[in-house]
Structure 1
Amino acid sequence: MKYDFKKISDSCVKCGKCIQVCTIYSINQDEVTSPRGFLDLVGAYQRGELKLNEDAKNIFESCFLCTNCVDICPSSLNVDTAIENIRSDIADKYGISWYKKTAFWLLGHRTMLDILSKMGYVFQTCGLVTEKSSKFDKSLHTKFDLPLLKKERLFPAIAKKSFMNSHGEYIHNGGIRTVGLFIGCMANYAYTDIGEGVLNICKALNINVDLMKKQACCGAPMYFTGDFKAVKKAAKFNIEYFEKKLEKLDAIIIPEATCSAMIRVDYLHLFEDDEEWLKRAKNINKKIFLATEYFYKYTRLKKILAKKGISEEHITYHDPCHARKMQGIYKEPRELLSQNYNIVEMSDPNKCCGFGGVTMQTNRYNLSKKAGQQKIEMLNNTGVKIVSAECSACKMQLNNALNLAKSDMRCMNPIELINFILENGNE
């Protein structure tokens, strides 16, 4: 059954609450690209009053899918799901750019991606230059514009060796519990300190770790672009793989909000009309957690960190859209970080950073850049040097925005900050 655009369009009462929090509307103040504007258009599309031409394509690709509108809507209308489905129809009509198709194919073929990442590490400085580096990671930008890489765009350097290829399948820490680790593509190939941090935390907690090396990409890049065929292939593989692994695992933890939300929430939307796979997706959800969520709720990590004392470092925390709004997770990372860091809250910590997915980063980069600039104003007002976010997409976007603003502030995953305390704090 095709998605019922008319039903969600007719359910909107046009109260306007969504407009006040809409990321794209805050940039261009255009009612057409506001949540209720989007819903009017999807309704017109189903009634045959709107053709999916280039203008419509540009409109629906301008949404950041931040879910602010869903969060504040009195009826909790899933505007994001409607837009994701109409993007699928647009992809069916216009196709998907060759460079996006190539990237999605690579995300579905890890062996080839491993080979290319090794080549990329060796040759990345030929076309790229180091912009900023720290003891935690290195960032680069290109010397010229490419379809997926903008000349001014800061992005993470490729690691010399991927995280999963740096370890064996199973890491025994002498514990009675074992968790699976879904690492996410960006943390596997670029932000490898996130994975290393998870391993060190689990070691401190005597929790064994299964790296689940056959895991596939969660499918988020394809889902937000409208390539539903590729998403379903990845989702079905992961569900079957997780089912088998969870027979022996206590939980699967994910230190990436986007990956976690994709698997826990968007898989349910994806299989809404497929009873068998919807049921299977719901069943695995019971044992899947965002990393800080699991460590806070089910381990003694908070007590261990409390013994390390408060550092002099002041930090702020950015709530990834896929953590706070889609999964209701915002207290957990703060509870853990506050044991060792002084947290200075932003005026609006859950305002979207502006990453918005592959299409926003390529075809609509000007919008992403503007959204990032809005966030930087809030960050600068805190007066801190570190902003934390449990999402590599947010980390990349915020570091890019900070670089454009010539700020020396850096974004780090809370797992990295917690691990730094474990390695350097005093009892």
Structure 2
Amino acid sequence: MFQFNVTSDACVKCGKCIPVCTIHEVNRDEVTSPRGFLDLLNAYQRGDLELDKNAKNIFESCFLCTNCTDVCPNDLPVDMVIEQVRNDIRKKFGLAWYKKLAFFLLRNRNIMDVLARFGYMFQTCGFKMVEKQKSMYLRNFPIIKMDRLFPSLAKKTFLNSHPDVIHNGGKGKVGIFIGCLANYMYTDIGKALLEILKELQIDAYLIKQQKCCGAPQYFTGDFDSVDFLAKFNIEYIEGFKDELDAIIIPEATCSAMIKADYVHFFHDQPEWQSRAKAIAPHIFMATEYLEKKTNLAEILASKARKSEVVTYHDPCHARKMQGVWREPRNLISQNYTIKEMSDPNRCCGFGGVTMQTEKYRFAKAAGLPKAAMIKETGAEYVSAECSACRMQLGDAMHGQKVDVIFKNPIELIAKALREG
């Protein structure tokens, strides 16, 4: 059952969505534009459109960047209806084997931990390591069939590298929901967050039973997996949310999924929707919490100012979905010079699992303008509180030979504290 009954009549054809649409920028076809999606969605809801392979191809071409909903005068939730249509697509066509495998592993962390360990040991056999970006380069990847950069696996996961509770003085207590990419690959993000909490004397609870937030599955249409993961995480968070000041997440997509998308997902399960709404006020992006709820900005201001320049990219799931964009800039600017890109709010083009595999050509095309913008700033670092953006922009910069290092804002903040 669809949450929204979107009609093409509700669209006033103002055209505001077209210039900001990520897929339309790289595939200038009215069909793959917000208005085109809307007309097809309306036809599907009326029963006038069959979900054949052509329709599947079209509905899987949206990046779900929410740019169209952000500027729409009628707030038409085109992205959310596409997510629901993708569930119908999955039911009819199934999932590719590699998606099934990935989603199975994300549901079963113990197995994933073992395979990640083996992956770390043998990744140098098939990949060329790019140490500066903490990534690995592979030519002619069999699924994507293109050269590209992937994040390298860590020797040990973040959650398995630290005790359950780290006592730092008791001036506060926060839980850390780390996210899969930061747990298995970009582990320096979690380490940096622990450094910051130690400086603030805030106790850290790693809440180690956490499972994948379910965002990759949600955007792909695997609603069965989302239902399982969301219910587990909600029930898990309910068990300790009142004992902690907050659950902080250094990942925009994970935070948006738990804080906002769980509520949308459970539109037809009132009890679980109510429970999702109840935990939402306890969820914060890491920079959001640190800037609003602690004196970190003052501490950073007392440290030495650096000559290094940082440019900041706004993840779609941070600025548009959660209104978080000032907070990381305010913290970073205490010690670094921020030079803005010509369009920091433009989607980097990650777009989810399908976009990164079967439609990689679109992801690559969407990443090129961002890589050019980053280069134009002359910055030493590009930052975003999202590891999906990091993966996408790292690949785009590598392909364009843009020699800029990507750091999560949490890493830059910890660096300033460490070297100040």
TM-score scaled by length of structure 1? 0.96
- In structure 2, the gaps of 5 or more residues are none
C-alpha deviation, 1:381, in angstroms? 1.7
For residues 22-72 of structure 1, the C-alpha deviation after alignment (integer angstroms, 9 at most, x for no partner) is 011111211110011101001001112111111111111111000000110
Equivalents in 2 of 1:139, 1:32: separation in Å? 36
- The counterpart of 1:245, out of the listed 237, 240, 247, is 240
C-alpha deviation, 1:161, in angstroms? 0.5
Equivalents in 1 of 2:229, 2:106: separation in Å? 9
Partner SS, residue 351 of structure 2 = coil
Partner SS, residue 349 of structure 1 = coil
C-alpha deviation, 1:385, in angstroms? 2.1
Equivalents in 2 of 1:380, 1:196: separation in Å? 28
Equivalents in 1 of 2:299, 2:364: separation in Å? 39
Residue 13 of structure 1 pairs with residue 12 of structure 2 = yes
- Greater shift in the superposed pair: 335-344 or 10-19: 10-19
Partner SS, residue 272 of structure 1 = helix
Partner SS, residue 208 of structure 2 = coil
> Which residue is equivalent to 2:386?
391
> Which residue is equivalent to 1:133?
131
C-alpha deviation, 1:377, in angstroms? 2.0
Residue 404 of structure 1 pairs with residue 418 of structure 2 = no
Identity of aligned residues (%): 60
Residue 266 of structure 1 pairs with residue 261 of structure 2 = yes
Paired residue total: 420
> Which residue is equivalent to 2:280?
285
> Which residue is equivalent to 2:208?
213
> Which residue is equivalent to 2:165?
170
Equivalents in 1 of 2:354, 2:378: separation in Å? 32
- In structure 1, the gaps of 5 or more residues are none
For residues 365-414 of structure 1, the C-alpha deviation after alignment (integer angstroms, 9 at most, x for no partner) is 00000000011221122111211000000011111100000111122100
> Which residue is equivalent to 1:309?
304
Aligned 1:8-407 pairs, distance under 5 A: 8-130=7-129, 132-134=130-132, 138-147=134-143, 151-407=146-402
CA contact (8 A) 2:371 2:402 kept: no
Residue 420 of structure 1 pairs with residue 415 of structure 2 = yes
Partner SS, residue 203 of structure 2 = strand
Equivalents in 1 of 2:387, 2:192: separation in Å? 14
C-alpha deviation, 1:329, in angstroms? 0.5
For residues 306-332 of structure 1, the C-alpha deviation after alignment (integer angstroms, 9 at most, x for no partner) is 011320001100000000001010000
Equivalents in 2 of 1:309, 1:232: separation in Å? 48
C-alpha deviation, 1:230, in angstroms? 0.3
Equivalents in 1 of 2:255, 2:242: separation in Å? 20
CA contact (8 A) 2:59 2:86 kept: yes
Partner SS, residue 44 of structure 1 = helix
Runs of at least 4 residues off by over 4 Å: none
Q: Counterpart of 1:184 in structure 2: which amino acid? A: G
Equivalents in 1 of 2:9, 2:407: separation in Å? 42
For residues 327-350 of structure 1, the C-alpha deviation after alignment (integer angstroms, 9 at most, x for no partner) is 010000000000000000111101
Equivalents in 1 of 2:113, 2:176: separation in Å? 18
The two structures, once aligned, show a CA RMSD in angstroms of 1.1
For residues 87-146 of structure 1, the C-alpha deviation after alignment (integer angstroms, 9 at most, x for no partner) is 11100100011110110000000000000011001011111111x213xx5210224423
CA contact (8 A) 2:139 2:148 kept: no
Partner SS, residue 243 of structure 2 = coil
C-alpha deviation, 1:76, in angstroms? 1.3
CA contact (8 A) 1:8 1:77 kept: no
TM-score scaled by length of structure 2? 0.98
Relative to 1, partners in 2 of residues 1:421 and 1:4: Cα closer, same or farther, differing over 3 Å? closer
Equivalents in 2 of 1:377, 1:304: separation in Å? 34
CA contact (8 A) 1:142 1:150 kept: no
Equivalents in 1 of 2:3, 2:222: separation in Å? 19
